[in-house]
């Protein structure tokens, strides 16, 4: 006899309550092990640190799973059923018997892909509606009906219609079939996900990261994952998704953060951004370095072995050719340059010193003299000063700043303050790190200083041990046992081992040479050719998830096509997938945005909205005196509603943010101010306005002072602000 809905609900509540009890027990067990590891004394400090870190990650995953632990159930045709949730939970008595399937497990895939037409051997999909730890209700979808074609969307529509919160939410309970295919795609190279506004491309990419960490955890965890976004607001917006899925070994950065310690304080004009983002800038950087590899205008005298020798232009030119031909970065090639010059100078000095009393046949005295002169030359202030003038040690910031400040600089690049860095300078500085290479002399000095410090600590430890031995000899047997039990030599030595206790994300963000197992690039259409060089260095395995929409490109140095950007780095190793359904932007608003898209990018089809909201977007013409009051009226009205809102406009509009700062974000209500001024910026302005119009999930309003742009003619003019 079939159970009633109330009986089924009670049964499901009891089952989910049992899952939470099992989760709490597992938390207590792992926390206990974590506490033991923190206070443990067995093994080396490094081994204990590894164990503590591993247990800390498990604790985080277990606590992240609390909200919405179990969100559904799958019933097979044969009558078996499986519960689907954020993590896997197993029977305490049988580790191979899952009480809850992790959503990423292969056995859980049908929860996202089964439809009425293709049930995949499933009879029913049940989705839970929960609040906290309590199941409030459920919705059933019967699969395998002859007239069934698509999966039910009650849960999906409930999610997309809900008011926006402070950040992006995961979609683990409502992943759609086209999204699931991308999330689980088995491709080792670069995956490009393109989709228009509201298609969920960002959240799909983040769920793909969670899936990769689940299926390839051992390979990926040691180096972590990098997520690159367009601005800090966007990173804050998406920052909760992966932690909510139990994943924390992820670094979030903008392109401006890719060189540690660098602060972006200025902005380039379109022409400067285009030139800096182009691969043509590589020739400019190489030329700037070559200009610092100089020849002496007059011979440089150097006192050596009681004789005076000179570094002339011919000698320096030979040394420069040899150094450049070595293929080494500039700073490292200085050693080649110095060796050639030193060889010439010692030869000349030997000839003068040995004239009249040494012959070339007397090899041993000559070699001894050569060694003495080379040693003397290494500490010769005149010689070192000459090297510093002819082949100086250079820093990336110094080279780039002098390039911009030089009177002979390209007018597009020239600026008064060469160190007022822009986002476009980041890849140039990163490139210069490789072109210049390391300062080996400074690194060797630092290593020697560190070695001396370690020797001092070791001597101190040895002294303490000697004093303990002397003290032990004067103790009775009981004291002797107490002293030797507490203090072994290796225990004392451990105290001088400095462990790096930072989390992986913190260590990776501070290390320019850190390499990642996988990189997610969001708003990738904005990245330049030079930006891609930086990212490819950060991921030698070339494993990327690239997210973007070419129609929204505003950067003059950004991607005109994915092929142009990616093929040079991963020829034949990148695949393209598109998302076509708009889950965020209602049809009423998307119709307005689509009219604009048809004007500035007629070859691109807008995504199809999955829903309508029943509220028409509106426009209102105001005077300059009325503008501030109209913006304030919108803000006041929206403050009384649930959800979020934003005012988007050009510079100078009180309370407005530029569209570029809202990329990837979503709001319940959006007010776009003076679209005619935004459009005045040409193709870049059209892309900006398209972004602005597609941020709203419920309500869109437009304030304009000049006549409404033709593309926005579908907006209904209203006399007042509000929906």
**CA pseudo-torsion sign 139, 145, 151, 154:** negative
Q: Is 85 annotated as a binding residue?
A: no
Three-state SS for 39-94 is HCCCCCHHHHHHHHHHHHHHHHHHHHCCCCCEEEEEEECCCCEEEEECCCEEECCE
Contacts of 224 (CB under 8 A, 6+ apart): 249, 250, 251, 504, 505, 508, 516, 517
Q: Reduced to 3 states, what is the DSSP secondary structure of residue 681?
A: coil
Say how far apart CA 371 and CA 365 lie, in whole Å. Answer: 10
**CA pseudo-torsion sign 604, 529, 402, 430:** positive
Say how far apart CA 561 and CA 558 lie, in whole Å. Answer: 9
Measured CA to CA in angstroms, residue 272 lies from 58, 422, 426, 555, 575 at distances of 47, 10, 13, 11, 32
Q: Is 662 annotated as a binding residue?
A: no
Q: Please, are residues 689 and 704 in contact by the beta-carbon 8 Å criterion?
A: no
Say how far apart CA 519 and CA 531 lie, in whole Å. Answer: 13
Distance of CA 414 to the CA centre of its chain: 30
Q: Is 640 annotated as a binding residue?
A: no
Query: Which residue in the block uniquely carries the two structure tokens 């409502």?
Result: 174
Instruction: Compute φ and ψ for 682, nearest 5 degrees.
Output: 75, -150
Q: Where are the alpha helices (DSSP H) in 584-712?
A: 587-600, 624-639, 675-679, 682-693
Contacts of 443 (CB under 8 A, 6+ apart): none
Contacts of 552 (CB under 8 A, 6+ apart): 197, 523, 525, 663, 687, 690, 691
Say how far apart CA 1 and CA 15 lie, in whole Å. Answer: 20
Say how far apart CA 487 and CA 465 lie, in whole Å. Answer: 9
Instruction: Single out the residue of 553, 557, 685, 528 nearest to residue 270, CA to CA.
Output: 557
Output the six-digit token pair for 259.
Answer: 């060189």
Q: Is 42 annotated as a binding residue?
A: no
**CA pseudo-torsion sign 674, 680, 685, 689:** positive
Q: Is 202 annotated as a binding residue?
A: yes
Q: Is 197 annotated as a binding residue?
A: yes
Q: Please, are residues 251 and 505 in contact by the beta-carbon 8 Å criterion?
A: yes
Return the bridge partners of 131, or none: 134
Say how far apart CA 460 and CA 534 lie, in whole Å. Answer: 45
Q: How would DSSP label each residue in 590-613?
A: HHHHHHHHHHH-TTSPPPEES---
Output the six-digit token pair for 446.
Answer: 């630092």
| Enclosing H/E stretch for 288 | helix 281-290
Strands 544-548 and 190-195: parallel
Q: Is 198 annotated as a binding residue?
A: yes
Q: Is 232 annotated as a binding residue?
A: no
The half-sphere exposure of 36 on its side-chain side, counting CA atoms within 13 A, is 9
Q: Please, are residues 684 and 270 in contact by the beta-carbon 8 Å criterion?
A: yes
Binding residues for ATP are 195-202
Binding residues: 195-202
């Amino acid at each position: 006899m079939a159970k009633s809905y109330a009986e089924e609900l009670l049964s499901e509540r009891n089952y989910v309550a049992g899952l939470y009890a099992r989760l709490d027990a597992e938390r207590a067990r792992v926390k206990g092990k974590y506490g033991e590891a923190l206070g443990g004394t067995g093994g080396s400090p490094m081994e204990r640190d590894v164990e503590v870190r591993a247990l800390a990650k498990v604790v985080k995953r277990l606590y992240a799973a609390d909200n919405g632990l179990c969100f559904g159930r799958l019933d097979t045709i044969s009558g078996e059923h499986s519960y689907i949730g954020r993590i896997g939970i197993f029977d305490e008595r049988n580790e191979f018997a899952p009480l809850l399937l992790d959503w990423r497990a292969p056995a859980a895939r049908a929860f996202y892909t089964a439809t009425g037409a293709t049930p995949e051997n499933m009879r029913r999909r049940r989705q839970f509606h929960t609040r906290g730890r309590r199941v409030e209700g459920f919705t059933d979808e019967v699969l395998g009906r002859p007239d069934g074609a698509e999966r039910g969307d009650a849960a999906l529509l409930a999610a997309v219609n809900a008011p926006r919160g402070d950040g992006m939410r995961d979609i683990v309970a409502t992943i759609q079939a086209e999204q699931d295919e991308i999330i689980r795609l088995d491709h080792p190279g670069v995956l490009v996900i393109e989709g228009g506004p509201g298609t969920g491309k960002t959240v799909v990419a983040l769920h793909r990261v969670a899936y990769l960490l689940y299926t390839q955890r051992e390979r990926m965890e040691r180096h972590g994952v990098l997520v690159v976004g367009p601005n800090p607001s966007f990173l804050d917006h998406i920052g909760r998704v992966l932690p909510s899925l139990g994943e924390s070994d992820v670094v979030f950065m903008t392109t401006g953060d890719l060189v540690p310690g660098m602060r972006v304080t200025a902005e380039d004009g379109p022409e400067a951004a285009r030139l800096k983002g182009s691969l043509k800038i590589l020739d400019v950087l190489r030329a700037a370095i070559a200009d610092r590899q100089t020849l002496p205008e007059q011979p440089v005298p150097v006192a050596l072995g009681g004789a005076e020798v000179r570094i002339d232009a011919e000698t320096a030119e030979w040394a420069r050719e040899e150094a450049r031909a070595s293929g080494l970065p500039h700073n490292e090639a200085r050693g080649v340059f110095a060796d050639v010059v030193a060889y010439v100078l010692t030869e000349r000095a030997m000839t003068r010193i040995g004239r009249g009393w040494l012959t070339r046949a007397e090899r041993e005295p000559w070699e001894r003299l050569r060694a003495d002169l080379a040693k003397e030359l290494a500490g010769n202030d005149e010689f070192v000063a000459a090297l510093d003038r002819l082949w100086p040690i250079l820093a990336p910031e110094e080279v780039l700043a002098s390039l911009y400040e030089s009177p002979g600089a390209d007018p597009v690049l020239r600026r008064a303050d060469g160190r007022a860095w822009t986002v476009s300078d980041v890849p140039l500085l990163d490139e210069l790190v490789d072109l210049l290479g390391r300062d080996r002399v400074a690194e060797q000095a630092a290593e020697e200083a560190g070695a001396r410090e370690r020797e001092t600590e070791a001597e101190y430890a040895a002294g303490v041990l000697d004093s303990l031995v002397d003290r032990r000899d004067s103790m009775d047997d009981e004291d002797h046992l107490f002293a030797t039990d507490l203090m072994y030599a290796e225990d004392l030595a451990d105290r001088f081992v400095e462990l790096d206790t930072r989390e992986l994300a913190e260590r990776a963000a501070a290390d320019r040479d850190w390499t990642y197992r996988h990189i997610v690039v969001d708003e990738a259409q904005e990245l330049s050719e030079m930006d891609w060089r930086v990212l490819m260095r950060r991921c030698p395995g070339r494993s990327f998830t690239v997210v973007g929409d070419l129609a929204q490109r505003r950067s003059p140095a950004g991607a005109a096509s994915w092929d142009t950007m990616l093929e040079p780095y991963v020829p034949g190793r990148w695949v393209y997938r598109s998302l076509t359904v708009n889950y965020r932007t209602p049809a009423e608003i998307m119709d307005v945005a689509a009219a604009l898209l048809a004007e500035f990018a007629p070859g691109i089809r807008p995504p199809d909205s999955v829903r309508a909201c029943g509220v028409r977007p509106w426009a209102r013409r105001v005077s300059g005196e009325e503008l501030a009051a109209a913006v304030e009226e919108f803000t006041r009205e929206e403050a009384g509603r649930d959800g979020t809102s934003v005012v988007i406009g050009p510079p100078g509009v009180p309370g407005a943010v530029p569209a570029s700062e809202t990329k990837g974000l979503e709001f319940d209500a959006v007010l776009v101010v003076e679209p005619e001024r935004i459009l005045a910026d040409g193709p870049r302005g059209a892309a900006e306005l398209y972004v602005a119009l597609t941020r709203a999930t419920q309500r869109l309003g437009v304030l304009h002072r000049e006549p409404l742009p033709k593309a926005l003619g579908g907006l209904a003019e209203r006399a007042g602000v509000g929906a």
